[in-house]
Amino acid sequence: MAAICFQSPCKPIFNFQLKSKPLPPAISKVSIFRCRASVQSQTLVIAEPEPVFTSVKTFAPATVANLGPGFDFLGCAVDGLGDHVTLHVDPTVRNGEIFISEITGTTTKLSTDPHRNCAGIAAMATMKMLGIRSVGLSLALHKGLPLGSGLGSSAASAAAAAVAVNEMFGRKLGNDELVLAGLESEAKVSGYHADNIAPAIMGGFVLIRSYEPLDLKPLRFPPEKDLFFVLVSPDFEAPTKKMRAALAAEIPMVHHVWNSSQAAALVAAVLEGDVASLGKALSSDKVVEPKRAPLIPGMEAVKKAALEAGAFGCTISGAGPTAVAVIDTAEKGEEIGEKMVEAFLKVGNLKSVASVKKLDKVGARLTNSMQTF
């Protein structure tokens, strides 16, 4: 993400590259991918596991990535929104392969080719990690999240699928391996970044310290504290690749220092449960939000409306176009949401939907299973 170039012996020039990180060579081949994942977690699946269920159903939550100054290394899961995957042992499917039987929900235009579908890619990556060669699986995806919403739609599908395969075979893999499986999917859709897939699998707030090796740091928000997210999604699509392309290749040192301090303040606020300070830091990005906000009609007015209505902070969720504000009461969140919806319509000429959600502290999970062996 950062490179240092010296123009002269005395004057360093810092160039911070914000372009999508390419898929590292270390995981470009499945065999190496499996080995790397196993080494990191000290978990090695020696023998092919038998399925412990004939059918499982899983859920993975929506996520808010970046959280303002935490571009590509901070994210959290939000409760009540997400994707469902139903997975069956299917003797009509070739051993070691995935068949996507149907896609329902907010969109049905996704490919059912498992090599071109987020759920399919993550499911196959998980099967390879487990060494599944003697069983074929059929997968049904129910989308609860629209595409290009800024709420981690692709990550939710990938997380639900990876967890479904893992649960089907006795939960042999840990979070690091599941995140790596999801990253293989994310890399083909929006870039090699884990700020959606990690919280979708692990729940809560997650800091991605590094990718080589993968180092994930869960940030525990105090359970006795109240935190609500006001999510306002306009009728507008902001493809992640397009929104990443809008980012500057270089940033001034002063903006780097500012964003670093705000990211640190945000992490401290999460650990302390200080929602007011969390909101203040979340609103203070000077690198990514200024480039993306003009591409979302009415976004700047929406942020202003949220803050004037009493929100502790407001920014773009992920790549957008969803706007996210934070507050400590649900009632106040409803009021803030109404003002944000009004601003999207008045200034951006966009209809939008508001919801108030709590932090999802669980992440992707098994919701139903059937065993008929």
**pLDDT tens by residue, 338-351:** 999 999 999 999 99
Q: Model's pTM, two decimal places? A: 0.85
Mapping DSSP to helix (H, G, I), strand (E, B) and coil, where does residue 195 land? Answer: coil
Q: Which residue has the tokens 């071109």?
A: 116
Residue 373: band (very low, low, confident or very high) from pLDDT cuts 50, 70, 90: low
Average pLDDT, the chain: 88
> CA-CA distance, 94 to 286, in Å (whole number)?
51
Measured in whole angstroms, the distance separating CA 270 from the mean position of its chain's CA atoms is: 18
What is the per-residue pLDDT across 162-176, written as a single tens digit (0 to 9) for each? 999 999 999 999 999
**What is the dihedral sign for C-alpha 315, 192, 235, 231?**
negative
Pinpoint the residues of the chain covered by CATH 3.30.70.890: 228-358
What lies within 8 Å, CB to CB, of 96 at 6+ separation is 127, 132, 133, 134, 135, 136
Q: What pLDDT is recorded for position 46?
A: 60
Q: Does domain 53-220+361-371 have CATH number 3.30.230.10?
A: yes
Cβ(299)–Cβ(323) below 8 Å: yes
Q: Is the pLDDT of residue 137 over 50?
A: yes
Q: Is the pLDDT of residue 31 over 50?
A: no
User: What's the CATH number for 228-358?
Assistant: 3.30.70.890
Alpha-carbon separation of residue 50 from 44, 63, 169, 171 (angstroms): 16, 32, 6, 11
Residue 272: band (very low, low, confident or very high) from pLDDT cuts 50, 70, 90: very high
Cβ(216)–Cβ(176) below 8 Å: yes
Q: Is the pLDDT of residue 13 over 50?
A: no
